[in-house]
Amino acid sequence: MMDLSMTSVLAAKAYKYKAESLVKEYLLADSYVSYTAVLGGILMSKMAYDITNIISSLYYKGYGSLTKTQKLEWNNRGMSTVHAVFITVMSVYLVFFSYLFSDQLDGPVTFRSSNLSDFTLGVSVGYFITDLAMIFWAYPSLGGMEYVLHHMLSVVSIVYAMYSGEGQLYTYMVLISETTTPGINLRWFLDTAGKKKSKAYLVNGVTMFVAWLVARIILFIYLFYHIYFHYDQVKQMHTFSCILIFAVPTILLVMNTMWFAKILRGLKKTLAKQQ
């Protein structure tokens, strides 16, 4: 029995060593980290979708009475909320708190990247691929062409920044705009749950207005301000990188402004009803 037990322990240690070697040499190796992150983003999205379904079934009585399409969107919004929290925290850290994109470091800020920044972008790509696939599968229940355009621009920009290592700072500045997603989703949850006249709905509307103004309007203006004062570094990048850096934020800013006008009109209606 002792020999059998010792053999089992040694075998377990051997498998553990092989597993750790596989992770270090392949999954987290510099050449594979992006692919691992994309796969991780897809798996994270699937887990978030399933967990939202389980938690909602257990703790929200009205979940069972939702239609199939409503349940699909309910779980999808839970998934997008998880991604939004993750990418917002990582983007704010990398842009404002880490030294990766600091002007105090030598070399152009437009060519800086790290394993952490590449991994984070990969996770986001995994999410956008998953969400885009769901949008096409249930089209137009989860969003129309504006959502398709938004996601396709996001995937192209993030993938290129991840593999080229160029313009990651500006990619992360744009991704900070995902901070408004939880508020948007909460508003939909409250509306679907019949809480449109509640104080929570009003507070959410005001909060979303402020968050959208800061993260999707003012921050984009700051992005162009940063590009202007670092243009000597920006023009050193490849032509396609420059096109993405100028075109994508511009298109998104136009879309954000249009959506902001809708949010403002909705907030005015909500305030009028509350009064």
CA distance 263 to 188: 13
Q: Cβ distance 178 to 88 under 8 Å?
A: yes
pLDDT value at residue 25? 47
Per residue of the chain (275 residues), what is the pLDDT tens digit? 445 455 555 555 555 455 444 444 444 455 678 889 999 999 999 999 999 999 999 999 999 999 999 999 999 999 999 999 999 999 999 999 999 999 888 899 999 999 999 999 999 999 999 999 999 999 999 988 888 988 998 999 999 999 999 999 999 999 999 999 999 999 999 999 999 888 999 999 999 999 999 999 999 999 999 999 999 999 999 999 999 999 999 999 999 999 999 989 988 887 777 66
Please state whether 165 falls in left (phi above 0), alpha (psi between -120 and 50) or beta. left
User: Residue type at 10?
Assistant: L
Q: Cβ distance 193 to 204 under 8 Å?
A: no
pLDDT value at residue 24? 44
pLDDT value at residue 14? 53
Ordered alpha helix ranges (H), the chain: 2-22, 33-59, 68-92, 115-137, 145-164, 168-175, 181-192, 199-212, 219-229, 231-234, 239-274
pLDDT value at residue 269? 82
Q: Cβ distance 143 to 184 under 8 Å?
A: no
pLDDT value at residue 268? 85
Q: Cβ distance 110 to 230 under 8 Å?
A: yes
pLDDT value at residue 275? 65
The label of the residue with tokens 């709905």 reads 201
